[in-house]
Amino acid sequence: MRLGVHVSIAGGLLEAVARAKRLRCTTMQIFSRSPRGGRVLPLDPRIVQRFDQERRAAGIDPLAVHGPYILNLASPDTGLWTRFATLYAEEYRRATQLRAQYLVTHVGSHRGEGESAGIRRVAEAVSLALATRSDVIILLENTAGSGQGLGYQFEQLAQIRELVKGQERVGVCLDTAHLFAAGYAIHTADGLEQTLTAFDQVVGADQLKLIHLNDSKVPFQARVDRHWHIGEGQIGFEAFRRIVTHPRVRSLPLILETPKDTEAEDQRNLATVRRLAQSPDPENACHATN
């Protein structure tokens, strides 16, 4: 099992990989810049080389870069869309410089223009980014379905991918909290199987490349994105035991994006997942983390 967390880049790339090593991560995710916008410094090739060498020497692989939150690739405003598409193409080049395997992408909101129009705009932005020659795979991330956001149904992710020029470099990242909030019943044994089967039928089993492993602070079908600590939210310990021991999931890199103010909270959530992956009894795994 490849297990890691979204690691802060505060202090720079080398401090990020040092954090991942302290947490015993075997995969990791980072932002290449501030996710909220602002001035962006170019990546220093010497630092990038050291980051890549230290990450690989520690066995931390794959590396995922998460796109900035400010981008809305489905925006109906032509001027804004052009700016977002340009920034997104730049982010794809930065992920390439970082020798990442994946660029995780929020597909955005259609802002009232309709899902079909939004899907076309996302596909166009992704196609423009893929004009850069690179081995980085873009991962479309599912959403909780709040507001006018896209990506809360597998069908939408499949439609975006089908419209992309260069779709062989486009896969999917599934977030467990988003699935649950959007109405995919992964908290039950039957629901987990039905969800994975539906994904295979609609998108394709080989397109699932990465899992964001998060519990949900909000109830099933709430259509709100609120991550919570593994096992302590509405999805629960038993469901996460089934998820992390499922043959389809165990073979994928798992990234935690659970709430944290300190590394200790990451350590606690990672320990929970490791124990759930080893224990057939969710109560034992729960008690072992206390």
The more confidently predicted of residues 282 and 139 is 139
pLDDT band at 280 (very low <50, low <70, confident <90, very high): low
Domain span holding position 118: 3-288
Q: How confident is the model over 257-280, as a mean pLDDT?
A: 94
3-state secondary structure of 281: coil
Question: Which uninterrupted H or E stretch holds 255?
Answer: strand 254-256
Distance, in Å, from the CA atom of 24 to the CA atom of 34, rounded to the nearest integer, reads 25
Tokens found for residue 157: 């992710």
How many angstroms from the chain centroid is the CA of residue 135?
A: 18
- 225 tagged catalytic: yes
Distance, in Å, from the CA atom of 118 to the CA atom of 114, rounded to the nearest integer, reads 6
- 36 tagged catalytic: yes
How many angstroms from the chain centroid is the CA of residue 107?
A: 12
Q: What is the rounded end-to-end Cα distance, in angstroms, of the chain?
A: 23
Tokens found for residue 165: 């020029």
| Catalytic residue of the set 19, 94, 212, 275 | 212
Percentage of the chain modeled with pLDDT above 90: 93
| Catalytic residue of the set 2, 110, 227, 242 | 227
| Catalytic residue of the set 69, 77, 155, 283 | 69
- 238 tagged catalytic: no
- 44 tagged catalytic: no
Q: What is the pTM of this model?
A: 0.95
pLDDT band at 281 (very low <50, low <70, confident <90, very high): low
pLDDT, one tens digit per residue, over 254-268 is 999 999 999 999 999
Query: Contact, 19 vs 263, CB < 8 A?
Result: yes
- 257 tagged catalytic: yes
- 212 tagged catalytic: yes
Distance, in Å, from the CA atom of 157 to the CA atom of 173, rounded to the nearest integer, reads 10
pLDDT band at 37 (very low <50, low <70, confident <90, very high): confident
- 263 tagged catalytic: no
pLDDT, one tens digit per residue, over 214-242 is 999 999 999 999 999 999 999 999 999 99
How many angstroms from the chain centroid is the CA of residue 59?
A: 20
| Catalytic residue of the set 66, 110, 187, 229 | 66
pLDDT, one tens digit per residue, over 91-143 is 999 999 999 999 999 999 999 999 999 999 999 999 999 999 999 999 999 99
pLDDT, one tens digit per residue, over 192-212 is 999 999 999 999 999 999 999
* SS3 per residue for 194-242: HHHHHHHHHCCHHHEEEEEECEECCCCCCCCCCEECCCCCCCCHHHHHH
Q: How confident is the model over 234-255, as a mean pLDDT?
A: 97
Percentage of the chain modeled with pLDDT above 70: 96
Distance, in Å, from the CA atom of 187 to the CA atom of 23, rounded to the nearest integer, reads 27
Residue 156: C-alpha distances to residues 77, 122, 246 (Å): 21, 11, 25
In a 10 Å sphere around its CB, with 0-12 CB exposed, 13-18 middle and 19+ buried, how is residue 219 labelled?
Answer: exposed
Number of domains within the chain:
1
- Count of helix runs (H) and strand runs (E) in the chain: 11, 10
Q: Which amino acid is at 24?
A: R
- 69 tagged catalytic: yes
CATH number, domain containing residue 213? 3.20.20.150
